[in-house]
Amino acid sequence: MPRRGVATRAQVSGKLSKMLFELSVSDELGRYLEQLEERSNISLEETASVREVRKQYRRRKAIPPELIEEFNIARSKSQATWAEARRTSDFALFLPHLKKMVEYARRFADYYGYEDHPYDGLLEEYEPGMTSVQLRQIIEPLRGEIVRLIRRLSDQGSRPDSSLLEGTFDIDTQRRLARRALKVIGYDFDAGSLDDVPHPFTTAIAPGDVRVTNRYVDAAFTPGLFAALHEGGHALYDQGMDEKLFHLRLARGASYGVHESQSRMIENVVGRSRPFWMFFQPILAEFFPQFTHASPDDLYRAVNVVAPSLIRVEADEVTYNLHIMLRIEIETGLIDGSITAADLPRRWNETIERYLSVVPANDAQGVLQDVHWSMGSLGYFPSYMLGNLYAAQLHAKLRDEVTDLDERIASGNLRALVDWLRENVHRYGAVYPPTELIQRITGSPLDTSHFMRYITEKYADVYRL
Amino acid sequence: MPRRGVATRAQVSGKLSKMLFELSVSDELGRYLEQLEERSNISLEETASVREVRKQYRRRKAIPPELIEEFNIARSKSQATWAEARRTSDFALFLPHLKKMVEYARRFADYYGYEDHPYDGLLEEYEPGMTSVQLRQIIEPLRGEIVRLIRRLSDQGSRPDSSLLEGTFDIDTQRRLARRALKVIGYDFDAGSLDDVPHPFTTAIAPGDVRVTNRYVDAAFTPGLFAALHEGGHALYDQGMDEKLFHLRLARGASYGVHESQSRMIENVVGRSRPFWMFFQPILAEFFPQFTHASPDDLYRAVNVVAPSLIRVEADEVTYNLHIMLRIEIETGLIDGSITAADLPRRWNETIERYLSVVPANDAQGVLQDVHWSMGSLGYFPSYMLGNLYAAQLHAKLRDEVTDLDERIASGNLRALVDWLRENVHRYGAVYPPTELIQRITGSPLDTSHFMRYITEKYADVYRL
């Protein structure tokens, strides 16, 4: 669309959002919900729909509308200031806005209500059923195990040679490669598109209309390819939902964490696996002939280098969760008041050094790197970690049930993988809450041992331990 | 958007249209109109807005809603059947649907009301103030003059050599040429886009968001270039409207005919003029180097061949109006019952032979060629003719006021042209009814002598009479 069309579209979209919001907190909807909650002869999906709409109704009505309006204005300013602060690495500039965003998050948590810790009131938005106590129980043992694994890889492992990935890569060829990769994983281009943007994301307008966006850099093909696989994983979930869920408002992920599990499954568990590269190396060579004689095994190892780094979005799958844990610790502390906003840079830098032995040269590479807090989105970060944990647990179950999964993938047949995900995860959308969904599929609640086993075995192999 | 997204979008768009329709015939709107009509202290634009909304309100409420619904269903079937009938050149297949569409149009005309002829009730939709009596007064003398001019060109003229236009033209280069041509005429790409479609059209979403679409064939660059100029003419109108008209619902053409006058002005009066080609030949040669040594004059003459043909959309500017006159005569007869639908093929073929000395080999090349009647859009065709007539009259005035217009265009300066159109036509949108607008600008009502003088002088030059 033309640049100058943005303002009118924003007006229209703002008007429609307002109408939608008003309907979503209306007394009329309240009466419908009461009537539906009294019924006993409604289907599983309808029951789930009532549960989810009721929850949204309750949470939306919990906050005074004038507070939401005030917050929206403050958030716009906060985000704009954060962008400027990150550019100039000036935490002091952002600090007053961060304080305000934390204060709003606290007030929202109070309005939403919680049993144990105010952070739980925020978590409910992103990962229903999850609590800060559970998060602590997950993080405490996991953090040490990951730190020890990283040390072991670095001390005893044979770091893969990633120099074979170097080069300059034509952007349009990368675009076509991304398209091919999406076809390989079963992304339906009749029900989905692929376009360019500065920050990749996936939007599901309806099950038959999913939009994947991606970006490419010419210095490497891997960011564009793995981002496509990541977004493709989200997109498979959105395309795989039962269409009847759409009008029940259940055509979305069971949670942000479960949605992220699907993207991480395709990007990492599948896309950075040895069987995948056995099959994908000749495809890569079709687009970039310099890889015609590359060994699939060398490529597999090259895309799995573990390198402690400062930036979350560039982190490998071993170190990634440590970046998230750092953020969860800080968020929780900000919300319960045990950490002050002003103390963030010191706290951040000390912690990341303890976890990863790296020290940010400035706050742009540290505490200012992510947009989330500037938008007041406290409580979102755990979803990233949970996505990795769910992915490993689901993958373990999947390999139990599809015993020749690796052979199939190595021969380019991803059908069984995608069918299993569709049958067990995708088609249900938000019918089951995340805890119930994981329990139903795997027979047990969230169990972090799958993730540890997965990375321990994989990286012992990659690093030839 | 992905193919499978179409159904959901149609649902959403249908729902919004229904809401909009209900608002547009609501008692609430009626009360607002009454209140506004009593006010005397409102601006010129507000008065025009009330007039236009009142008119739409009256016409929409005139038709029983169930009849509109019935018509919409019948129209879908009719259009689908017409497409099939045109493909197989089977008029009998389309006939029952055509009869129905004529019957609906007649009933609508009765509901809308008219003074003299039922066709006037339909015309009001497209060309407010125009009547079938006036159309007859325009057509009768003009038809003979055009037929005589065509005969003179063919008998005594020197037909230009268009073989220099032949070749194979890379589609993407044509796309870039179209973009350049749009820039040349002053199309604002910050407020407009250019994309590919099978049938070119222009949509104005808002004054800052105009979408031009175009198509290209590789056997010739002229259809793609002139279609771009045509749509660009529409787009300049849409981009040039005063932004405050948008919310007054006046950000649209004064009529379909006036809108068409802007596209025909840019496509033909400017785009097929000698000064334009003096300036545009080197630009064309930038994109297609085979024209580096083509003479601007040869190009000018080559794009102005007059060739009586069967198909309206391929017609040159001399024969074009005859195609329209044929359709107006038939439409008027269908509406007042003096022509029966079954008699159409015979009637069509006889008339086009009389006007243009060509005979359709089949009905696909004759009476079945246009979509309009299959959609029940009787009364639309006159706008095409009026567009040509208005364009010539406006251009005469423009040349009076900008005396060095041709020199400016020949040197690539189209600013004065576009500024004049913006100042006199574009910015007013639908503030003035078409008759009033033409009178205000040119000092006289619609006067067909401008068009006859324009084509007579131009083609005497092109054909070296």
Select from B1, B4, B13 the residue whose CB has the most chain A CBs within 10 Å, as the one to mutate to test that interface: B4
The per-residue pLDDT for range A120-167, each reduced to its tens digit, is: 999 999 999 999 999 999 999 999 999 999 999 999 999 999 999 999
Angle between helices B27-38 and B6-24 (to 10 degrees): 50
Query: Percentage of residues in chain A with pLDDT exceeding 90?
Result: 97
Contact residues, chain B, for A192 at CB < 8 Å: 2
Give the distance, in angstroms, between the CA of residue B157 and the centroid of all CA atoms in the same chain.
29
pLDDT for A170 equals: 98
Is A246 in Cβ contact with B209 (below 8 Å)? no
Report whether pLDDT(A206) > 90: no
Q: What number of H helices and E strands is found in chain A?
A: 19, 3
Residue B258 CA: distances (Å) to CA of A184, B172, B237, B423: 52, 32, 10, 15
Residue A382 distance to chain B (closest CA, Å): 32
* Interatomic CA distance for residues A61 and A56, integer angstroms: 8
Catalytic member of B52, B125, B127, B231: B231
Q: Give the nearest partner residue to A191 out of B4, B189, B192, using CB atoms.
A: B4
pLDDT for A189 equals: 97
Q: What is the mean pLDDT of chain B?
A: 96
Query: In whole angstroms, how large is the CA radius of gyration of chain B?
Result: 23
pLDDT for A42 equals: 92
Query: What is the CB neighbour count within 10 angstroms for residue B31?
Result: 10
The per-residue pLDDT for range B244-276, each reduced to its tens digit, is: 999 999 999 999 999 999 999 999 999 999 999
Residue A9 distance to chain B (closest CA, Å): 9
Strand partners, A193: A211
Residue B149 distance to chain A (closest CA, Å): 44
Is position A231 annotated as part of the catalytic site? yes
pLDDT for B451 equals: 98
The confidence band for A273, taking pLDDT boundaries of 50, 70 and 90, is very high
| B193 near A CB under 8 A | yes
**Contact predicate B131/B118, CB 8 Å:** no
Query: Percentage of residues in chain B with pLDDT exceeding 70?
Result: 100
In the A/B pair of chains, how many CB contacts fall below 8 A? 64
Is B190 in Cβ contact with A3 (below 8 Å)? yes
Contact residues, chain B, for A9 at CB < 8 Å: 205, 209
Contact residues, chain B, for A2 at CB < 8 Å: 188-193, 208-211
Is B189 in Cβ contact with A1 (below 8 Å)? no
Q: Which residue has the higher pLDDT, A180 or B12?
A: A180
Query: What is the CB neighbour count within 10 angstroms for residue A44?
Result: 10
Tell me the CA end-to-end span of chain B in Å, nearest whole number. 53
Report whether pLDDT(A111) > 90: yes
Select from A4, A11, A189 the residue whose CB has the most chain B CBs within 10 Å, as the one to mutate to test that interface: A4
Listed as own residue / partner, the contacts of A189-198 with beta carbons closer than 8 Å and 24 or more positions apart are: A189/B2, A190/B2, A190/B3, A190/B4, A191/A239, A191/B2, A191/B3, A191/B4, A191/B5, A192/A235, A192/A239, A192/B2, A193/B1, A193/B2, A194/A228
The CA-based angle B71-B74-B80, given to 5 degrees, is: 135
Average the pLDDT over B329-337 and give the result: 97
Is A8 in Cβ contact with B190 (below 8 Å)? no
Q: What is the mean pLDDT of chain A?
A: 96
Is A1 in Cβ contact with B209 (below 8 Å)? yes
Is A191 in Cβ contact with B8 (below 8 Å)? no
Report whether pLDDT(A222) > 90: yes
Residue A206 distance to chain B (closest CA, Å): 7
Token code pair at residue A15:
């008007």
pLDDT for A285 equals: 98
| B185 near A CB under 8 A | no
Report whether pLDDT(B206) > 90: no
Chain B residue with minimum CA distance to A7? B208
Is A7 in Cβ contact with B208 (below 8 Å)? yes
Average the pLDDT over A294-321 and give the result: 96
The confidence band for A207, taking pLDDT boundaries of 50, 70 and 90, is confident
pLDDT for B207 equals: 81
pLDDT for B131 equals: 97
Is A246 in Cβ contact with B208 (below 8 Å)? no
